[in-house]
């Protein structure tokens, strides 16, 4: 930081009606102070533009834009903007004061977070970011240093200086420039930050979570250009390669939303939360009049090769077992609901099953070999497997192996029809047990005939 900036900051004791108490952070883009309103006594955070940027009109407009953007957002997981003014020719921004530390500081201190704590923090940030996206605002610089955590564990997203307004194109980025922090930035944002969209922020969320659970910066020790090339080819070590104890679901959710193809990422922050938790952000369970939690039961229907609709009843684990065995194919022909009357939704739209149906980023051959030796990875979803009627029995004749039985009477999906449900049955007898019983029976029969046959022969002679 230039010496003149430090000297000028040391001379500042107040701006507007705020007294500057102490510095919180100092950087090339400004100094953040802890301040106090002279009349109300309210403690606030005040960001002051450094002298060397006072002649930069683009930066000054971006600085004022940060206030305009934050002022529109009222959410517990976004730092509130309270005031904007000038002390002489020096602009300043007054924000909510957050007692705590940044996520970046916490990671420097503890290296990495537990899976549970990391998901709790990132879901809070995702909720705040979802609110911004609803307002048509894209953050474009989500990273640990821009996430503040209070002493009570509440996460708040800050630093909206690079925010882009979708409808009015309020951003001040020149074409071809990718503002943001390279290691957390989506590869398409490198080319042109002006075209950054919701999925760019989701990539940055996933990259931040990657750092939180592994303790390593994505594409660490690489230059921005090298990192960009790695991102283009999805050459990112899987999170479980660095942290084998990480769950399958979180590993999959991170890799999905860090895919080089934006279309394969979660479409919204809410969908990213669903990917992480395996639970829908909207309730789909049938209401319970007694107040007891609903039973884990799904109602599925699908059409067979003759366009006859069949119904299936089963638990979440039962359906997941069927998916792992490939009994449901790619799931495109199956719809599910928590109630017999619907509404029925495509199987892959439900977060409880999405991780077994959607493709994710593929690791390099070297990474895959390491993963095989360090931690068991989930078998990829059977995206290309098909079940032609002439080669494989119909779907309703195969579901029994998974503990889920289709009804024997075709049902329609009408809201007035009641499916003919067959209770789940136990697992079929293993083949090895059947053969063992057969061999034992043959042995006993042979021994019996050996001893009994001569007696039968002499009896025939006697008669």
Count other C-beta atoms under 10 Å from residue 229's C-beta: 14
458 pLDDT band, cuts 50/70/90, is: low
Annotated active-site positions, please? 141
pLDDT tens digits, one per residue of 312-344? 888 889 888 888 888 888 888 889 998 888 888
Q: Identify whether the C-beta of residue 192 lies closer than 8 Å to the C-beta of residue 176.
A: yes
Q: Which pLDDT score, from 0 to 100, does residue 374 have? A: 43
pLDDT tens digits, one per residue of 413-450? 433 333 333 334 444 556 667 777 788 888 888 777 77
Q: Which pLDDT score, from 0 to 100, does residue 34 have? A: 94
Strand ordering across the sheet containing 90-96 = 14-15, 18-27, 30-37, 43-48, 90-96, 81-87
Q: Which pLDDT score, from 0 to 100, does residue 460 have? A: 56
pLDDT tens digits, one per residue of 131-190? 999 988 888 889 999 999 999 999 999 877 545 544 444 444 443 343 447 889 888 887
Return the higher-pLDDT residue of 118 and 388. Answer: 118
Is there a common fold for 3-96 and 100-277? no
Q: What angle do CA 108, 109, 114 make, to 5 degrees?
A: 95
From 412, 410, 408, 411, select the one nearest 422 (Cα to Cα): 408
pLDDT tens digits, one per residue of 50-107? 887 788 787 787 777 777 777 778 899 999 889 888 888 888 989 999 999 999 999 9
Q: Identify whether the C-beta of residue 198 lies closer than 8 Å to the C-beta of residue 138.
A: yes
Q: Which pair of structure tokens corresponds to residue 47?
A: 């960001």
Find all residues with CB under 8 Å of 194, minimum gap 6, and list them. Answer: 164, 169, 171, 173, 174, 175, 177
User: What's the CATH fold of domain 100-277?
Assistant: Transferase(Phosphotransferase); domain 1 (1.10.510)
Q: Which pair of structure tokens corresponds to residue 18?
A: 């705020």
pLDDT tens digits, one per residue of 193-211? 677 889 999 999 999 999 9
Kindly report the average pLDDT of the chain as a whole number. 76
Q: Which pLDDT score, from 0 to 100, does residue 141 have? A: 87
The DSSP secondary-structure symbol of 429 reads P
Q: Which pLDDT score, from 0 to 100, does residue 361 have? A: 54
CATH of domain 3-96: 3.30.200.20
pTM of the model: 0.71
Instruction: Report the Cα 247 to chain-centroid distance in Å.
Output: 12
The DSSP secondary-structure symbol of 449 reads H
Q: Where are the domains of the chain?
A: 3-96, 100-277, 298-406
């Amino acid at each position: 930081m230039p010496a003149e900036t430090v000297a000028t900051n040391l001379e500042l004791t107040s701006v507007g009606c705020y007294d500057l108490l102490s510095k919180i952070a100092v950087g090339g883009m400004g100094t953040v102070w802890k301040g106090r309103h002279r009349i109300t006594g309210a403690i606030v955070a005040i960001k002051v533009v450094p002298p060397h940027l006072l002649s930069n009109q683009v930066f000054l407009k971006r600085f004022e834009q940060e206030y305009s953007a934050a002022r529109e957002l009222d959410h517990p997981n976004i730092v509130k903007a309270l005031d904007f003014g000038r002390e002489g020719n020096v602009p300043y921004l007054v924000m909510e004061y957050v007692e705590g530390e940044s996520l970046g500081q916490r990671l420097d201190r503890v290296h990495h977070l537990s899976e549970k704590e990391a998901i709790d923090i990132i879901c809070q940030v995702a909720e705040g970011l979802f609110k911004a996206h609803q307002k048509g605002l894209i953050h474009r610089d989500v990273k640990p240093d821009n996430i503040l955590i209070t002493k009570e564990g509440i996460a708040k997203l800050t630093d909206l200086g690079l925010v882009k307004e979708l409808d009015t194109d309020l951003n001040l980025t020149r074409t071809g420039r990718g503002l943001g922090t390279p290691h957390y930035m989506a590869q398409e944002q490198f080319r042109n930050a002006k075209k950054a969209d919701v999925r760019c922020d989701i990539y940055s969320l996933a990259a931040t979570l990657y750092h939180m659970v592994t303790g390593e910066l994505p594409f660490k020790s690489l230059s921005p250009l090298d990192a960009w090339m790695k991102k283009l080819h999805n050459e990112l070590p899987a999170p479980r390669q660095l942290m084998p104890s990480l769950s399958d679901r979180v590993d999959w959710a991170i890799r999905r939303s860090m895919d080089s193809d934006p279309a394969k990422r979660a479409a919204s922050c809410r969908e990213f939360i669903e990917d992480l938790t395996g639970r829908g952000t909207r309730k789909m369970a049938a209401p319970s009049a007694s107040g007891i939690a609903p039973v884990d039961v799904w109602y599925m229907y699908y059409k067979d090769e003759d366009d006859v609709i069949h119904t299936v009843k089963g638990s979440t684990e039962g359906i997941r077992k069927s998916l792992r065995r490939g009994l449901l194919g790619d799931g495109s022909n199956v719809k599910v609901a928590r109630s017999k009357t619907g509404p029925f939704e495509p199987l892959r739209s439900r977060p409880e099953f999405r991780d077994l149906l959607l493709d994710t980023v593929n690791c390099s051959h070297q990474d895959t070999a390491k993963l095989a030796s360090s931690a068991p990875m989930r078998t990829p979803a059977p995206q290309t497997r098909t079940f032609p009627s002439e080669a494989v029995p119909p779907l309703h004749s195969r579901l029994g192996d998974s503990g889920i039985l289709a009804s024997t009477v075709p049902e329609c999906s009408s809201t007035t029809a009641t499916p003919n449900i067959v209770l789940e049955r136990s697992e079929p007898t293993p083949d090895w047990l059947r053969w063992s019983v057969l061999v034992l029976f043959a042995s006993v029969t042979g021994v019996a005939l050996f001893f009994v046959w001569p007696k039968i022969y002499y009896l025939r002679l006697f008669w």
